[in-house]
Amino acid sequence: MTTQLINLLKRFISMAEERAKTLPYRINLIETLGGACETENSKILAAFLNYRTPLGRFEILESLVEYIQSRFDALLEIKVDRPSVNTEHCHIDIFVREAHKYAIIIENKSNWAGDQDEQLFRYIETAIREGFAESQIYVLYLPPLEGKDPDDQTWGKYKKPFEERYVKLSWRDDILPWMRGKVLPNVRHMDIPLASAFEQYIDYWEGQFGLRGVQSEVKREMRETVIEGLELGAEPDAGKSLAIVREAFVAAQSLAKTLAGLANERKAVLENKFWNELIEALNLRGLKDVERINISENGILKNYNAKGWYNVGIRVHFCVGNRLFFFDCISSQGSGYFGFKFMDERGNGAQVNRPSILNDQSKRIEQIVKQILPSSTTPPSWYGCVSSKEFDFRQMWYETIIWQLGTPEKCTSFAHCWADRFDGYIRKFKELMKEEQP
């Protein structure tokens, strides 16, 4: 059966190559830029939900709430008036709320990300700390397809209490049809930028799920090819033909897992090459003491398979006077991060978590880092770090990493671009620190 499936796969690839020669020119700006990662999809969706009419109505958010109310008999108590719609508020993908009324936590899994440890529990706790009663909080979960559900552990103690205030909306079967059928037809005919944005985004998701017109034709051809390849047309007994299809389906799932493993192995090769090129580029700029953090193809694959924190990346060691500092760039759970690590206030060269009360020098160093990295945050082990999806290799789509690192020229260019930036940050840090010294 596996041999039959591989032969069918070869035929599908050949069919796709022939079809590509006959297709008309098509452009989708999101695809041209390498696709949208999870954070970018959240930002796009939040921008749509944040749309206000000239009279101040949040019509698109109202439409989504009405869609959920009619289809799922949920969110019935919510009436949209003057909400706040934010992304990455306390790490919540999209947070919609109106004080004293309701809070909607939207957890976006558009790119198949796994559930972090007690992720929904932490987000619900955030909403409670901000003054919402548990009964006012709702959770929307947005996987690509209907079959993905939150892990039990992500709820903590809240799974049962939220059974009536949890809704799963898949991108293929809910968000896409809602945008296509409920929103786009009602966009004002004079609002060309908004209509164009929706058309591009709908087209992008139709492309991701193979729902474009030409792709539907390809699906029909593939179906006929499978029927022929498995000799289903010659089998009049429905029970026997079902058994053949079931055997093929099980073998295809196994083959898909094998292909996913092979893809990750090739992806790890590209990522490993990038980290080595980045180290070489930093060395060329005079930053010679660069520590490797789990940089190997095995270490990178371990990061891909990890469910919690596991870091792959670099640590640049540098001194200001006699004091040692670290600049890290890592790929880990949920994102990539770069910035300046927090050092022991006793000046012994050890990297530690910040104490509850900082001394004056640590406070000034944080101010310097904020000046260099204005968008930085201050997690426990950092003076300041920036979250960047460009280093989120664990969750990065294959198309994106091919676009970013897929040729030696692209990989080298990407490494030198970031080496220039990191070198600039470190140089500026040294300059500002020296200005502080008497």
Distance between CA atoms of residues 113 and 111, nearest Å:
6
Rg of the chain over Cα atoms, rounded to whole angstroms, equals 25
**CA separation, residue 365 to residues 125, 326, 427 (Å):** 31, 13, 14
CA-based nearest residue to 94, from 110, 79, 78, 106 = 106
pLDDT of residue 420: 94
pLDDT of residue 2: 65
Position 215 pLDDT exceeds 80: no
Distance between CA atoms of residues 314 and 424, nearest Å:
16
Contacts of 83 (CB under 8 A, 6+ apart): 58, 61, 96, 97, 98
Percent residues over pLDDT 70 in the chain: 91
* Residue 275 φ/ψ, nearest 5 degrees: -60, -40
What's the rounded mean pLDDT across residues 62-77?
93
- Helix (H/G/I), strand (E/B), else coil: 95: strand
Residues 108-137: tens digit of each pLDDT = 998 877 777 789 999 999 999 999 999 999
Q: Are strands 166-168 and 290-293 parallel, antiparallel or unpaired?
A: unpaired
Mean per-residue pLDDT over the chain, rounded: 87
pLDDT of residue 218: 65
CA-based nearest residue to 158, from 189, 127, 190 = 127
Q: How confident is the model at residue 68 (pLDDT cuts 50, 70, 90)?
A: very high
Distance between CA atoms of residues 194 and 185, nearest Å:
12
pLDDT of residue 258: 84
Q: How confident is the model at residue 86 (pLDDT cuts 50, 70, 90)?
A: very high
Contacts of 400 (CB under 8 A, 6+ apart): 34, 35, 37
Alpha helices in 329-375 (DSSP H): 360-372
Distance between CA atoms of residues 17 and 8, nearest Å:
14
Q: How confident is the model at residue 332 (pLDDT cuts 50, 70, 90)?
A: confident
406: tokens are 């897929």
Q: How confident is the model at residue 216 (pLDDT cuts 50, 70, 90)?
A: low
pLDDT of residue 294: 92
Residues 412-432: tens digit of each pLDDT = 999 999 999 999 999 999 999
Residue ranges covered by each domain of the chain:
36-186, 268-436
pLDDT of residue 404: 82
Contacts of 245 (CB under 8 A, 6+ apart): 230, 232
Residues 8-31: tens digit of each pLDDT = 667 766 765 566 555 555 688 888
pLDDT of residue 239: 85
Alpha helices in 24-140 (DSSP H): 29-32, 38-49, 59-72, 119-129
- DSSP 8-state code for residue 230: T
What's the rounded mean pLDDT across residues 327-347?
88
Place of tokens 């991701």: 208
Across the chain, how many H-helices and E-strands are there?
14, 10
Position 370 pLDDT exceeds 60: yes
Look at 230-239, 255-264, 283-292, 317-326 and tell me which has the smallest mean pLDDT. 230-239
Position 162 pLDDT exceeds 80: yes
What's the rounded mean pLDDT across residues 284-293?
95
Distance between CA atoms of residues 313 and 434, nearest Å:
28
Distance between CA atoms of residues 346 and 392, nearest Å:
33
Look at 5-14, 36-45, 51-60, 418-427 and tell me which has the smallest mean pLDDT. 5-14
pTM beyond 0.75: no
352 HSE (CA, 13 A, CB side): 13
Position 299 pLDDT exceeds 70: yes
What's the rounded mean pLDDT across residues 253-276?
89
Position 343 pLDDT exceeds 80: yes
What's the rounded mean pLDDT across residues 301-326?
88
Helix (H) or strand (E) holding 436: helix 408-436
Position 222 pLDDT exceeds 80: no
pLDDT of residue 436: 67
Distance between CA atoms of residues 168 and 141, nearest Å:
5
Detail the DSSP E strand segments found in 8-161: 84-89, 92-98, 102-108, 137-142
